Structure 1
Amino acid sequence: MSAHPDRILFEAICTPARSLSRRGMAWVAGAVLLVSVAVGLGFSVFGAWPVLGFTGLEAALLLGLMGLHRRWAARSMEVLVLTEERLLIRRTDARGRREELVLDPYWARLRLEERPGRVSLLVLRQRQREVEIGTLLGEEQKRDLAAALEAALRRYREPVFDNPQLREE
């Protein structure tokens, strides 16, 4: 580690959208269980009592998969850090695997590709290397990230120096 850590010029943390809070998840779980019990009891009244077990199994499977998805989505993350030395991209996928990419910010170029009917593609290119960023984001968030990162890269490549001797008095 160097004596002078890199000064951070730009930092963005990208996470997937989570539409349900803990409380919302509890409401959905309650509704699924309520419907499952109602369907099972309805069939039991008509003598088809084995359906009760299958509806319970379906509800458990659905809630289990929803819980796994929430846990995996909570782990997913992408961090973009622009310093005076480098542009660092740190990714953590749903399984917890980490990946780290380093680009030279002076040569990095950002491109937002429109894709009709789909979310745009945000790509950082450096020489022959292309890296897609913002994969966890929606359309508006990608546009915001593209604008902010493009402005930060422009400030990095074209710094404005304040020399007091050149000021007019």
Structure 2
Amino acid sequence: MDARFTPEGDTGEGLRVIVRPNRTLTLRGMTALFAVLTVVVLTIGIGFTLAGAWPVLPFVGLEAVVVGAVLYRLFRHADDHEQIMVDRERVTVIRWRGRREQRDEFQRYWTKVVLERHRGWYPSQLKVGSHGRFVVIAADVNEKERESLSAALNDFFQKKG
């Protein structure tokens, strides 16, 4: 998670937070992973085919296709992130998912930050909004970072109210 405070206008301070999940696998890494897994699986499949178990080969192809599809999906969502901008009058939440951008705006005075905790293994949800309309933010980060962002946003709203 990347948080930066930036001045907004002449009369006050604003806040700009970029929430970006940890993505360590680059395009080159995804390509190498796919190539290595495909070579290993094809080698095993060809070995079984030479041993007389030819029905294994279609499943090897299916496995390569599934792994390729999963890596393609990861690649398409590698740049997913959220940006929360607070100025004197508005709170703007911009979420990028795949190639789509979704923008929500709220009046700053009425905006609330709510961290809903769930029981058991289910993760909490951090929501920002007002007047019964809330958007979930920081869903792709771990619990500790979500709590940290919640505390930072609540502190900012209480100080700058």
Offset from partner CA, 1:104-136 (integer Å, 9 cap, x none): 122212111111211111122423322222222
C-alpha separation between the residues in 1 aligned to 2:61 and 2:30? 18
- Shift in CA distance, 58/152, structure 1 to aligned 2, threshold 3 Å: same
Please state if 1:35 is matched with 2:40.
yes
Q: Which residue of structure 1 aligns with residue 86 of structure 2?
A: 82
Partner amino acid for 1:138?
Answer: N
Q: Which has the higher contact order (CA 8 A, sep 6+)?
A: 1
Partner amino acid for 1:62?
Answer: V
Unaligned runs of 5+ in 2: 1-6
Partner amino acid for 1:104?
Answer: Q
Mark the structure with the bigger radius of gyration. Answer: 1
C-alpha separation between the residues in 2 aligned to 1:49 and 1:131? 52
Runs of 4+ with deviation above 4 angstroms: none
> What is the aligned residue count?
151
Please state if 1:120 is matched with 2:124.
yes
C-alpha separation between the residues in 2 aligned to 1:73 and 1:109? 28
TM-score (norm 1): 0.75
Q: Which residue of structure 2 aligns with residue 160 of structure 1?
A: none
- Shift in CA distance, 125/56, structure 1 to aligned 2, threshold 3 Å: closer
8 Å Cα contact 1:12-1:79 kept in structure 2: yes
Structure 1 residue 83 displacement after superposition: 0.9
C-alpha separation between the residues in 2 aligned to 1:56 and 1:86? 52
Q: Which residue of structure 2 aligns with residue 136 of structure 1?
A: 140
Q: Which residue of structure 2 aligns with residue 163 of structure 1?
A: none
C-alpha separation between the residues in 2 aligned to 1:33 and 1:131? 40
TM-score (norm 2): 0.78
RMSD: 2.5
Unaligned runs of 5+ in 1: 158-169
Q: Which residue of structure 2 aligns with residue 164 of structure 1?
A: none
C-alpha separation between the residues in 2 aligned to 1:129 and 1:54? 47
Q: Which residue of structure 1 aligns with residue 100 of structure 2?
A: 97
C-alpha separation between the residues in 1 aligned to 2:27 and 2:97? 22
Partner amino acid for 1:17?
Answer: N
